[in-house]
Amino acid sequence: MTPVVDYFTLIGAAARTVLTAPWPQNWRRFKWLFIFAIVWPILRGSIVFFLLLDHILYPGFRKQKIKRPLFIVGNLRTGSTLLYRTLAEDTSNYTCFRMLDAFMPAISMKRAVAFLGRVDAALGGYGARAVKYLDEAFLDEYSRIHDTGFLKPEEDEFALLNYMCSAAMYELFPAVRRFRRLFFVDQEMSTQEQDRVMRRYKSMVKRQLYHAGGDKTFLSKNPLFTNKLGVLRRTFSDARFVCLVRHPVNTVLSTASLFHFVWHETGALAPDQKDMGTVLEFCRCFYNQPRKCLKDLDSRHLCMLEFNDLVKDPSTAIRKILADFDFPVSDRLDEILEEVGSRQRRYKSQHSYSLEAWGMTEEEIYQRFRDVYSEHNYPRPAVVGAYRTEEEPSEGVSAG
């Protein structure tokens, strides 16, 4: 019953905003009300049918092994997308969720889409161009802050929306206290519900691996999984983790920019509202959880990677990770790493943020995150005042 209650709680929260909020917040919330009240039930019904069909057409997925999955975690805006999509290009060794997989988790759905893709390619690629048009029509606004697309590797956290148990629900509805447990899973969710969420997630991973061939490494890039590290380790005992770390000033500024963009575009907050308290809580937890849950892992299972080391020399950083984890480097990945390094050296950021815009100083962030400064040897700010930071995503690959 819990997902049903969560679903109607979500609908009620969206409807209240539509009825009481001023323009354009009410209109932005109305779009999400329409998606969850009209589109989601239809999609959910289709998904359930195809998930059941998997048991008839592809019963072998239930015995699919998940060997040494790789989870990329840590604070948001730390280069995780750059790392994730670079590895995902080596399709001979790795598989992951694309955004489309979040809406089509069943093997039968994936196989149907793959078949249609082959037919479309033979007929001239009109369908692929239509998908690109949909990207531009529906995701262009979001791609300005995080490069995304229906056919691009994306966070599988969003696939859990199919079961109404995704942390994204708290991102979209931060005022709904009931959804906190979906975000702070290790800290606030009951063990019984944790196990239920992980059973569903594990089933989706098995299906993805089965569809991809079964003998590949599963990749997951999910900053939101940082609050699931405890339950992830309990579920995937031989998992590998890459935890990305970034200077607190840069992390807080970039995270504030990301979340407020999402909150404003989805109607969670009015255009003139800010919620730095929630941003700081998120950042704090994403620093604390790896320290708490991964401290006993050795270098064969955990890599702590600095953002600057990744974006300045991604090829060297990624090769070290794969060597430590004893993961293969194919000829294709070898070429990809050289290309990514070259692109990164040419890249000039278009994003910049200032602390003044968020009502904070560098000294205040230092006081809030003194333990992080000490642990990672970040220098204490010498001058109190505005701090300007730039993002460093690679061309075609966001560093988010």
Predicted TM-score of the model (pTM): 0.90
Collapsing DSSP to helix, strand or coil, 385 comes out as coil
Q: Quote the CA–CA distance of 290 and 246 in Å, as a whole number.
A: 13
Q: Quote the CA–CA distance of 191 and 194 in Å, as a whole number.
A: 5
Chain-centre distance of CA 147, in angstroms?
A: 12
Q: What is the DSSP letter of 135?
A: I
pLDDT tens figures, 135-185: 666 666 665 666 777 778 999 998 999 999 999 999 999 999 999 999 999
Q: Quote the CA–CA distance of 89 and 365 in Å, as a whole number.
A: 37
Alpha-carbon distances of 237 from 69, 228, 234, rounded to whole Å? 10, 14, 6
The number of C-alpha atoms within 13 Å of 270 and in the hemisphere containing its C-beta is 7
pLDDT tens figures, 204-223: 999 999 999 888 999 999 99
Q: Domains in the chain and their CATH numbers?
A: 64-390 (3.40.50.300)
pLDDT tens figures, 8-18: 999 999 999 99
The one-letter amino acid code at 4 reads V
pLDDT tens-place values along the chain, 400 residues long: 799 999 999 999 999 999 999 999 999 999 999 999 999 999 999 999 999 999 999 999 999 999 999 999 999 988 899 999 999 999 999 999 998 888 899 999 999 999 988 998 888 887 778 877 776 666 666 656 667 777 789 999 989 999 999 999 999 999 999 999 999 999 999 999 999 999 999 999 999 999 998 889 999 999 999 999 999 999 999 999 999 999 999 999 999 999 999 999 999 999 999 999 999 999 999 999 999 999 999 999 999 999 999 988 999 999 999 999 999 888 888 888 888 877 766 555 555 667 888 888 999 999 999 999 999 999 888 654 444 444 444 333 334 4
Beta pairing class for 94-95 and 217-221: parallel
pLDDT of residue 303: 97
